[in-house]
């Protein structure tokens, strides 16, 4: 274990070196630490990486080009990159029980693109591919490549709709996934907000997708991946799971059996931050049948891998293999359920009526607000959240009717269920005292709001007090 003095020295020294070149950047880095220390961070997709993970990103690996894979690089001098990439992949395989791990994706979107193209390259039977007599997209001639692109419009994807909690990379029209595929969405039961597996099966039988996607960014319940795989198999679809949000709950063995996607999916994608508590980046897990295609992610989809981030992934994944990570993952869920219960007792309306995972989705229309109004009013009060659509949202994806909150970051700081109830009180206080504002012409505004600045300041101070006994990076002092 490193000593607190070593960590403080490392970060102080780094800022000193940066300040000598561009002091404004050093100041912004220091200010960000202060802001994060003083704010209730409730964004479900954010967390706090360990000092070791953060420091692993600031080194000479940043200077390396390393296209290719371990032992098969297009650049010489990558033996040390091979070491960290192999370590990251080894930790990922052991942590999730996967036979193959690809740790190069720069983000969750990149990981999903690698998965999509790997599936297409492996599964698509087209005249272009037959003429070329190859199975690899990156081997196609220019003529066959354009022929394949014309035919991609016939490839179908079935994924969770954005307003039901799915992600924009699951076929949302403005996203590249919505342009690559003929896409259809499955939603949730209007009465309960829960996935109706019979309706998903019906949609799959009718639509006959090439890819069935499961996973979410704003669905506060577990997904039964065994049932989803059965649905995929019934129509001959490849079953893909995007576990970016809940990967930490899988790694920590909170989600097991039918709720662990790895044994059931043909291919699994994830980010390495969020509940996994690593650096910002992506990863793909799969079986041997797709491994060769996935390993062609660079140059098929990705540019050069980022060796410094792969080094940080190796560190974070090693941390996630420690016994205390399982305790952390369980506390994430315990805290989310305590937060949900605290909000419900105070009269808030929650999508699905609660949570099984790390996130809670508040329907703020019960407070007479839009998501955008609620988000900013909470931010004014020292509570960092993000607005999010709710099922059949009348305000759309920009203004929204919901606020998504999550517990991974506060759990990392050591807050427990008692503090979650206090957090629920602060959230309810702000939302119940915020009213919609008006535009200059007197018409109702979906963005403007009215909140007493004195109340916002009081809540902000209460939030800071709540955090004071759970300091962020207590081993790091910059002064």
Per domain, the residue ranges of the chain are 60-320, 326-468
What pLDDT score does 137 carry? 53
**Catalytic residue list contains 67:** yes
Residue 271 known to be catalytic: yes
What CATH number should be reported for the domain whose range is 326-468?
Answer: 3.90.1150.10
- Out of 67, 182, 230, 292, pick the active-site residue: 67
- Give the separation between CA 233 and CA 315, rounded to whole angstroms: 36
- Opening angle at CA 281, ends 277 and 283, nearest 5: 95
The 10 Å CB-count burial string (b at 16+, else e) for 415-432 is beeebbbbbbbbbbbbbe
C-alpha 180/C-alpha 119 separation (Å) is 12
Q: CA-CA distance, 291 to 35, in Å (whole number)?
A: 42
Q: Check residue 123 and give its pLDDT.
A: 64
pLDDT of residue 178: 73
Q: Catalytic annotation on 131? A: no
**Cβ atoms of residues 253 and 326 within 8 Å:** yes
pTM above 0.75, yes or no: yes
Measured distance CA(470)–CA(308) in Å, rounded: 30
> Does domain 60-320 sit in CATH 3.40.640.10?
yes
Dihedral angle, C-alpha 306, 275, 198, 153, nearest 10 °: -20
Per annotation, catalytic residue among 7, 110, 163, 242: 242
**Among 271, 352, 355, 412, which one carries the catalytic annotation?**
271
| Catalytic residue flag (residue 90) | no
> What three-state secondary structure class fits 144?
helix
Does 208 qualify as catalytic in the annotation?
Answer: no
Please name which of 158, 159, 166 lies closest in space to residue 391, comparing C-alpha atoms: 166
For residue 126, what pLDDT is reported?
46
| The predicted structure's pLDDT at residue 3 | 64
Q: What is the pLDDT of residue 16?
A: 95
What pLDDT does residue 135 have?
A: 46
- Tell which residue, 170, 172, 228, 173, has the closest CA to residue 203: 228
pLDDT in tens, the chain (479 residues): 566 589 999 999 999 999 999 999 999 999 999 999 999 999 999 999 999 999 999 999 999 999 999 999 989 999 999 999 999 999 999 999 999 999 999 999 999 999 999 998 876 544 444 444 444 555 666 566 545 554 544 588 999 998 888 887 887 777 877 778 888 999 999 999 999 999 999 999 999 999 999 999 999 999 999 999 999 999 999 999 999 999 999 999 999 999 999 999 999 999 999 999 999 999 999 999 999 999 999 888 888 899 999 999 999 999 999 999 999 999 999 999 999 999 999 999 999 999 999 999 999 999 999 999 999 999 999 999 999 999 999 999 899 999 999 999 999 999 999 999 999 999 999 999 999 999 989 899 999 999 999 999 999 999 999 999 999 999 898 87
Report the distance separating Cα 115 and Cα 286, nearest Å.
Answer: 9
Instruction: Count CB atoms within 10 A of the CB of residue 234.
Output: 12
Which of 73, 229, 277, 280 is labelled catalytic? 280
Cα dihedral: 373, 107, 215, 98 (round 10): -150
- Among candidate residues 19, 64, 65, 93, the one labeled active-site is 65
Residue 68 φ/ψ region, left for φ over 0, alpha for ψ in the -120 to 50 degree band, beta for the rest: left
Q: Are 392 and 471 in contact (CB under 8 A)?
A: no
Look up residue 242 and give its DSSP letter: E
* CA proximity to 42, closest of 473, 359, 471: 359
- Four-point Cα dihedral 71, 72, 77, 83, nearest 10: -30
Phi, psi for 400 (deg, rounded to 5): 60, 170
Let me know if 22 is a catalytic residue. Answer: no
Both tokens assigned to 28: 């912004």
């Amino acid at each position: 274990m490193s000593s607190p003095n070593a960590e403080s020295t490392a970060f102080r020294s780094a800022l000193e070196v940066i300040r000598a070149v561009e002091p404004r950047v050093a100041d912004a880095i220091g200010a960000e630490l202060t802001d994060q220390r003083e704010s209730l961070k409730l964004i479900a997709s954010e967390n706090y990486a360990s000092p070791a993970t953060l420091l692993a990103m600031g080194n000479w690996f940043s200077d390396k080009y390393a296209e290719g894979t371990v032992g098969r690089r297009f650049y010489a001098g990558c033996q040390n990159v091979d070491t960290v990439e192999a370590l990251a992949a080894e930790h990922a395989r052991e942590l999730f029980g996967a036979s193959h791990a690809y740790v190069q994706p720069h983000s969750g979107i990149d990981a999903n693109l690698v998965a999509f193209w790997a599936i297409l390259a492996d599964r698509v039977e087209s005249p272009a591919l037959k003429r070329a007599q190859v199975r690899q997209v990156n081997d196609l001639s220019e003529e066959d490549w354009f022929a394949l692109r014309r035919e991609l419009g016939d490839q179908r994807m079935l994924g969770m709709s954005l307003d039901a909690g799915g992600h924009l990379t699951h076929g949302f029209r403005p996203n590249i996934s919505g342009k690559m595929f003929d896409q259809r969405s499955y939603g949730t039961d209007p009465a309960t907000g829960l996935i109706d597996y019979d309706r998903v099966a019906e949609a799959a039988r009718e639509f006959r997708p090439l890819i069935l996607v499961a996973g979410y960014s704003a669905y506060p319940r577990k997904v039964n991946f065994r049932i989803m795989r059965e649905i995929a198999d019934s129509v001959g679809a490849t079953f893909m799971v995007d576990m970016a949000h809940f990967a930490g709950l899988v790694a920590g063995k909170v989600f097991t059996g039918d709720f662990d996607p790895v044994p059931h999916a043909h291919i699994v994608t994830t980010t390495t931050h969020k509940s996994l508590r690593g650096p910002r980046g992506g990863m793909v897990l799969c079986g041997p049948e797709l491994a060769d295609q996935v390993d062609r992610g660079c140059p098929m989809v990705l540019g050069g891998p980022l060796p410094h981030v792969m080094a940080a992934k190796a560190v974070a994944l090693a941390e996630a293999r420690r016994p205390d990570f399982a305790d952390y993952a369980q506390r994430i869920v315990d805290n989310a359920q305590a937060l949900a219960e605290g909000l419900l007792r105070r009269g808030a309306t929650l999508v699905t009526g609660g949570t099984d995972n790390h996130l809670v989705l508040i329907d703020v229309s019960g407070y007479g607000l839009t998501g955008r109004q609620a988000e900013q009013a909470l931010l004014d009060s020292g509570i960092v959240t993000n607005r999010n659509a709710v099922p059949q949202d009348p305000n759309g994806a920009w203004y929204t009717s919901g606020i998504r909150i999550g517990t991974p970051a506060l759990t990392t700081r050591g807050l427990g269920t008692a503090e979650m109830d206090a957090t629920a009180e602060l959230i309810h206080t702000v939302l119940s005292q915020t009213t919609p504002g008006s535009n200059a012409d007197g018409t109702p505004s979906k963005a403007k709001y009215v909140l007493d600045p004195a109340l916002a300041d009081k809540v902000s101070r209460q939030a800071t007090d709540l955090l004071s006994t759970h300091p962020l990076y207590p081993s790091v002092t910059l002064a």
